[in-house]
Amino acid sequence: MAIDSSVVNGKLAIDGGAPAKTTPNIPMYPGGLSIGEEEKKLVMEVLDNKYLFRYYGPADCPSKVRELEVQWAEKMGVKYALAVNSCTSALISSLTALGVGPGSEVIVPGYTFFASCASIVGAKAIPIIAEVDKSLTLDPADVEKKITDRTKAIIAVHMRGVPCKMDELMAISKKYNVPILEDVAQACGGSYKGKRLGSFGDCNAYSLQYHKIITSGEGGIVTTNDELLYDRAQAYHDTAACWRPDRFGLPRYEGEVFPGVNFRMSELHGAVALAQLGKLDNLLAQMRHNKARIKSQITGIDGIEFRELNDADGDTAISLVLFLPDEATTRKFAPALKAEGVEAGCIFDKGVPDWHIYAHWKMIIDKVTATPEGCPYTCSYYKGPVPTYSPDMNPNTLNILGKTIHMDIPAQITDQDCDMIATAIHKVAKAYL
pLDDT (0 to 100) of residue 130? 98
pLDDT of 379 higher than 80 = yes
- pTM here is 0.97
Which residues neighbour 24 within 8 Å (Cβ) at sequence distance 6 or greater?
none
Ranking 72-86, 297-311, 343-357, 400-414 by mean pLDDT, the lowest is: 343-357
pLDDT (0 to 100) of residue 309? 98
pLDDT of 1 higher than 70 = no
| Four-residue CA torsion sign, 130, 133, 138, 139 | negative
pLDDT (0 to 100) of residue 350? 77
Q: Which residue has the higher pLDDT, 214 or 349?
A: 214
**What average pLDDT does range 17-34 have in this prediction?**
97
**% of the chain with per-residue pLDDT over 70:** 100
Domains of the chain in start order, with CATH, are 5-28+280-350+397-432 (3.90.1150.10), 37-279 (3.40.640.10)
DSSP 1-42: ----HHHHTS--GGGT---S--SPP--S-TTGGG--HHHHHH
The angle at the Cα of 57, spanning 55 to 59, to the nearest 5 degrees, equals: 120
323 burial (CB, 10 Å; 0-12 / 13-18 / 19+) is middle
Half-sphere exposure of 273 (CA within 13 A, CB side): 34
**What average pLDDT does range 324-334 have in this prediction?**
96
Three-state secondary structure along 212-223?
A: CCCCCECCEEEE
pLDDT tens digit sequence for 179-217: 999 999 999 999 999 999 999 999 999 999 999 999 999
C-alpha 93/C-alpha 428 separation (Å) is 46
C-alpha 277/C-alpha 68 separation (Å) is 8
Other CB atoms within 10 A of residue 122 CB = 18
Distance of CA 37 to the CA centre of its chain: 27
Determine contact, residues 220/90, Cβ cutoff 8 Å. Answer: yes
Taking all residues of the chain, what is their mean pLDDT, rounded to a whole number? 96
Distances (CA, A) of 249 to 231, 241, 252, 386: 15, 10, 8, 42
Beta-bridge partner residues of 345: 406
Closest to 321 in 3D by CA, of 191, 108, 135: 135
Beta-bridge partner residues of 182: 156, 204
Q: How confident is the model at residue 351 (pLDDT cuts 50, 70, 90)?
A: confident
pLDDT (0 to 100) of residue 358? 97
Q: How confident is the model at residue 349 (pLDDT cuts 50, 70, 90)?
A: confident
- Amino acid code (one letter) for 77: G
pLDDT of 137 higher than 70 = yes
pLDDT (0 to 100) of residue 164? 98
